[in-house]
Structure 1
Amino acid sequence: MPATPDSGTAPRTPVAAAPETLLGFDFGLKKIGVALGNTLTGQARPLCILRPVTRQQRFEQVAGLLQAWQPERVIVGLPLTLTGDEQPASAHSRRFARQLEGRFRVPVELVDERGSSLEAQHILGTHADDDAVAAAVILQRWLDRAC
């Protein structure tokens, strides 16, 4: 009797993807919240807030983070209206994401960031400097979907 492709072999176990280090960004024209996470733990945490004055400083600071953490993927928050429509800030975030891909050759994914600042303020109990926590909220949303 001829062997079938599955006869005499044990079922194959899917190979788990290698853990990925991730950076998350809550992009703003004046401040950029940054978070760090990984797919092994499925957790994100606030990292820092960038306050570049010029476009050149923005990309120098981002380059430093990418060099230090060597992420396999970057997540950028996409600001949408309450109804899910694009708004002027959406175009800024999309442009930032494209620039990251083009300049640094890192895969970038956009994640709906609606309510992330409010959630960050709730976590902190204050409105001050919530950008890094908002970035962690955005990155955690991606991790919750992906892991």
Structure 2
Amino acid sequence: MLEAPRGTTLAFDFGEARIGVAEGDAEVGTAHPIATVTGEGNEAKFAAIDKLVREWQPRQLVVGLPVHADGSEHELTRLSRKFGRRLNGRFKLPVYWVDERMSSLYAESLLAEAQVFGRKQKAVLDQVAAQAILQGFFEGGAAEFFNGRED
């Protein structure tokens, strides 16, 4: 059985063009959107993520795991896992994957409630989706865990 996560956690809503990032405290169970990472190429994106990791000093990372509605995997599932393994390799922090099937819908509804639409919504949608992923992690746990070792 895994020990319950403690301390600061960064969560990522991975996309090939944009990566939403949220921060939260595992002990309090609250999550907040903090950034949308963009850039030309992986090195630019990882440089921005490196700054966030240094600023927030997380004890663990959470990555949304996109799957079809029936739970089957697709190409973005594979890329999200690869992204999580790269985070682990770069920052030596445990990575938890969380089912993100409902995160974008949740994020869109939160932003609609806040009367955020159009370009303003697009600018923050990924980080609010990361917030939903992190909140799901705090409330329901992880679908998978990775600590740098393949089974």
TM-score by length of 1: 0.84
**Helix, strand or coil at the partner of 2:122:** coil
**Helix, strand or coil at the partner of 1:35:** strand
Q: CA deviation at 1:18?
A: 8.2
- Give structure 1 stretches of 5+ with no counterpart: 1-15
**Helix, strand or coil at the partner of 1:36:** strand
RMSD of aligned Cα (Å): 1.6
Aligned length: 131
Match of 1:101 among 88, 93, 99: 88
In 1, the alpha carbon distance for the partners of 2:76 and 2:26 equals 28
In 2, the alpha carbon distance for the partners of 1:30 and 1:52 equals 8
Instruction: Give the percent of matched residue pairs that are identical in Structure 1 and Structure 2.
Output: 40
**Structure exhibiting the larger radius of gyration computed from Cα positions:** 1
**Helix, strand or coil at the partner of 2:93:** coil
In 2, the alpha carbon distance for the partners of 1:128 and 1:18 equals 31
Higher helix share: 2
Aligned runs of 1:42-121 on 2, under 5 Å? 42-121=29-108
Q: CA deviation at 1:120?
A: 0.2
Contact persistence 2:6–2:59 (CA under 8 A): no
Task: Supply the AA of the counterpart residue of 2:36.
Answer: I
**Helix, strand or coil at the partner of 1:144:** helix
Distance 1:102 1:124, change over 3 A: same
